[in-house]
Amino acid sequence: MCGITAYCGQNKALPFLMQGLSKLEYRGYDSAGVTTLEDHHLLTVKCKGRLTNLEEKLLSYKIEGTIGIGHTRWATHGIPSHLNSHPHNNKDETIALVHNGIIENYRELKEELLKEGYTFQSETDSEVVVQLLDHYYQGDLFKATLKVLQKIEGSYALCILSSLEPDKIIVAKKDSPLIIGKAQDAYVATSDIPALLEYTKDVYFLDDYEMAILQKDHIQFYTHEGVPIKKELTTIPYDLEAAKKDGYDTFMLKEIYEQPHVIQETMRGRINHDHISLDELKDIDFQQFHKVYFVACGTAYHASLCGAHVLEKLTRLPVISMVASEFRYNDPLIDENTLAIFVSQSGETADTLAALRLAKKYHATTIAIANVLGSTISRDADYVLYTCAGPEIAVASTKAYTTQLILLILLAYYIAQRLNKNVDLQLIHQLSHIPQYVEDILKDHTLFKEYAKLLENLHDAYFIGRGLDYASVLEGALKLKEISYVHADAYVAGELKHGPIALIENGSVVIAVALQPHIAAKTLSNIQETIARGAKVILLTTHNQEVKNIENTYYLPDIAPVLQSILVAIPLQLIAYYTACLKKCDVDKPRNLAKSVTVE
């Protein structure tokens, strides 16, 4: 969701604010703005639309301030507009703030303030916070902030600036990401690591119910009760080059081609001969568990479906996959004999984080699968396993998905070994060859570009598969609709005759995956049913299957069926990518979507 930047230092604030907002564009946004302190007054410049609109508007101002805050907004309360853009100011423009998250009780607070004579310029929940600050301010911004934090409910990352106390920025966090960096002659704050890499790799991770006062040469941390605390400085391993396109047309294409490397990195040190080694989990007694939950959202949920399938087959434990937003409100059966596994690329996904906290409330053992070092989910879980995908800039997930699949398969086999179950050693040996298989599939990119032409002028597409292949086609359909805006549905192949086949007509495109040997023949039979009704079929299968009269057939390597979910992701990603390119869509920043969904 929204992106935040803040700078308090010796040099001009605007360069940091703008480069940071540029690096946060991948999160999705519809407006942008900055506030800087200029000669003892606040200057706020903001506008609807892309960051380039703000850059053009800023050319009309002489901005010299060394303290400032910035924001890219993704609309939740109020339409995209100039007035709804951040930063928000109080009436006399002595206090400004940026906010990421949702203030759940803003209506009640707004009613109270209206009765006090306050007026509002926007429809946002965020403006309530700055008006509350104005209401409580009596010469001490820190004390006013403490009072506001006791009043507001919901999620927030806040950065607050005032001309009345021009030497500081106050920041606070609950459920929304906020990272503080120690740069040369400055302290900075951002929503995500790429926004500060150009200035520093030394960071503080702010936890929930914590706040800080940033000054140009000093920082102090507090609880939301105002009690001083100490925080550890962490040096992060990413470099700025990882966030650049390296000659690729888009970040998404770059990230697709990075998959052989990041898969290799995710497996590094975790396969020792015939054994899976996940030392991070060595203290868990897996014999105690009677049930396992996999909980995630979107692409991570599709990866979880695969992980859950493999774990249940290997261990015969009851394994349930649930979308995080459903898990929260479904009154799940959780106790101390429950293992709950939470998967999130960013580690900040709001619904997944809330589900994790629910599981912990009922004493489940929790494992996080995350990609971002120090993210909230990774800190809150009892145990954490990191994928090694590196920064993923494109909104549509690719390399994060395949590294999640790798790690979830490793986890399933590790648990099975710890439970003394028989495991397929051939699969463990084949894992080491996955990067090369992916590399070989990527070489066939021109073929997938040809397949994409079948979708260029269509508004609908249909994906079918069974078993593990169904999880794969769910992800393939999601990729296609995310970035090309082609309406895509995924069906269990055997369900076609129970309704969906009514949609198939002459010229329809069906993308079928048939990689599970025990049911592939059934899927191929379902494919023939669609061909008989005029469908054009793209089939992803292996040479082990007897394929008749399907022109657009791509054969994947004949490896263990469990691992096919990793390999088939590559053709599905590339078909979606090239379809989006043919339709001239903004591949890296699809409409209405955000990279890190940090509100419910």
State the CB neighbour count (10 A cutoff) for residue 375. Answer: 26
d(CA 561, CA 577): 25
DSSP character for 175? Answer: B
H or E element in which residue 576 lies: helix 561-582
Name the DSSP class of 188. Answer: E
Catalytic residue among 2, 306, 581, 585: 2
**What size, in residues, is the chain?**
600
Strands, E assignment, 345-410? 365-370, 383-386
Q: Please give the Cα distance from 114 to 260 (Å, whole number).
A: 57
Cβ burial, residue 232 (10 Å; 0-12/13-18/19+)? exposed
Q: Which of 399, 479, 589, 595 is catalytic?
A: 595
State yes or no: is 595 an active-site residue. yes
Task: With beta carbons less than 8 A apart as the criterion, state whether 102 and 125 touch.
Answer: yes
Report the C-alpha gap between 479 and 475 in whole angstroms.
6
In Å, what is the CA distance from 206 to each residue of 18, 220, 371, 392, 514?
Answer: 22, 12, 18, 22, 46
Alpha-carbon distance 23 to 199, whole Å? 13
Cβ proximity of 122 and 78 under 8 Å:
yes
- Of 566, 571, 525, the closest CA to residue 546 belongs to 525
Strand partners, 554: 540
Q: Is 47 one of the annotated active-site residues of the chain?
A: no
First to last CA, the chain: 11
Find, among 406, 401, 407, the residue nearest to 563 by Cα.
Answer: 406
Provide the strand spans (E) within 51-201. 67-73, 88-89, 95-103, 154-162, 169-174, 179-183, 186-190
Among all residues, which ones are annotated catalytic?
Answer: 2, 595
